[in-house]
Chain A
Amino acid sequence: MAYSDKVLDHYNHPRNVGSLDRNDPNVGTGMVGAPECGDVMKLQVKVDEATGTISEAKFKTFGCGSAIASSSLATEWLKGKSVDEALAIKNTDIVNELSLPPVKIHCSVLAEDAIKAAITDYKRKQEERKPVQATA
């Protein structure tokens, strides 16, 4: 299969590889996929408390080149976005940007799911935090 230049670029030079402290209350972690399916994406965001925007985004992916590229691209797009803006990222945006062929669309779906899972995790942590702060 021929890969698009953008997929190759992200595969050869993945952006924002790494991990954030998953216990940090301002970090949201999303992990989607399964080893048996050949795809696992871990995507993390760190939200700046003052501005409410994503200051850091990191990923690690087990999967094909398109899965790696989709998650790498997602971390690039997430930085500087508000939580709500992040949730507006659609898998089709990723498909278009990376020119993914039909058999690789599931990679973009996985990336969208990873974003949503990370944001959901962040929001849950913030919810849990509120009563703690109130009693403090």
Chain B
Amino acid sequence: MKTPIYFDNHATTPVDPRVVDAMMPYFTGKFGNAASRNHSFGWEAEKAVDDARKKIADLIGATAKEIVFTSGATESDNLAIKGVAEMYAEKGNHIITAATEHKAILDTCKKLEKHGYRVTYMPVKGDGLVDLDMLRDTITDKTILITLMYANNEIGVVQPVKEIGKIAHEKGVLFHTDGVQAVGKIPVNVIQDNIDLMSMSAHKIYGPKGVGALYVRRKSPRVQLTAQMDGGGHERGMRSGTLNVTGIVGMGEACAICHREMPEESKRLRHLRDKLRNRLESELDEVFINGTMEHRLPHNLNISFAYVEGESLLMGINDIAVSSGSACTSATLEPSYVLKALGVGDDLAHTSIRFGLGRFNTEEEVDYVAGRVIEVVKRLRELSPLYEMAKEGVDLSKVQWAAE
């Protein structure tokens, strides 16, 4: 077993060697521009792009023409939300999203608010899921778009997407979902799930960074978008710019592999995740899982280790790559807004760790990580005045803290 061990597969994933193999010819020999219509170099590139488009569409139950290539999910989110907002401005100006969405959604919505749009940021329940009745009540005759993520990047909870899409369609509202963490990991079908637009990213599914896609439904309803990038009219006018052929080939191959191996892989990762969880819960007291375990990605675990601050825990397990919801590890110096939205107190948010398992993790690594985490949590609790007080029976919520 080699260290450091990578358990941060929600952030990014290594490129699968099979994906690299598929991409290689398109850097040198087959380097054509897919938009070159007059020679074999262009045709070759165009065919590679079309093949990839088909593989991506197959993974999500779409047709190839419904796939628009972008630079990644952030661009896909921007194109979907701003593109719909602009195209349907005459119909209405209201957008519905949720507090636990990715910043690419939240910040895009905030930008639109500055331009006169109205956005509702729905709260979520304690398990991390949106309340469908509340969603129904939030829709007005001015609502043009609901954008709710398929699976959350921090806590891995999977939203009731099918029901959300059904509600949207009943009310004649478009439904966009950020599918970044779900596509390729759990079964996603845009028809069965009533999805109109879906953002995807290659580097979360063992493909290269810098390439993503947006699914745009072509019928019932036919979704139209105002392009946010003007130029040569690529991607049926929705996204101009020379196609990243190598990246697209890589994304296609990554999707094909996920499609083939998902049943096996998700079963294996669920077993590893559950093993990790069971060991942590059986050997440590006062650990709390954030978000529902019932509706959750098979490879995600988000746990708060009470009385142990997250950054100090990361420092102790420095041969393991994971993330924390602690303020000290974030750029904003605020604890995780996702955990806050679930009603997790700041005290526990500071102690949270996200484990993201992936294709290349082994059982041996899980055993090692569990052992290291348990050892360091125990050591840091010996150092923790809060753990000492809790063990003495002090109710920490009633203590008058002398904060700065």
- Using a CB–CB cutoff of 8 Å, the interface residues on chain A facing chain B are 3, 11, 14, 17, 19, 31-42, 60-65, 67-68, 103, 106, 109-110, 113, 117
Contact = CB atoms under 8 A, between A and B. Distances in A.
Nearest to B400: A34
Contact of A31 (B347, B350, B402): B402
Given A36-B346, A38-B327, A41-B385, A65 B315 contact: yes
Given A39-B309, A60-B385, A61-B385, A32 B347 contact: no
Contact of A33 (B387, B388, B403): B403
B314 to A, nearest CB: 9
A117 B402 contact: yes
Secondary structure class of chain A's binding surface, majority of residues? mixed
Contacts of B335: 38
B404 A110 contact: yes
Q: Which of B315, B316, B335 has the most CB of A within 10 A?
A: B315
Given A19-B388, A38-B327, A64 B404 contact: no
B384 A61 contact: yes
B326 interface: yes
A63 B345 contact: no
Interface residues of B, number: 29
A35 B384 CA distance: 11
Contacts of B402: 31-34, 113, 117
Most chain B CB inside 10 Å of its own CB: which residue of A35, A39, A110? A35
A100 B181 CA distance: 36
B396 interface: yes
Given A31-B402, A37-B346, 4 more contacts: A32-B403, A36-B346, A37-B403, A42-B385
A55 B10 CA distance: 50
Interface string B374-392: 0000000011111110000
A65 B383 contact: no
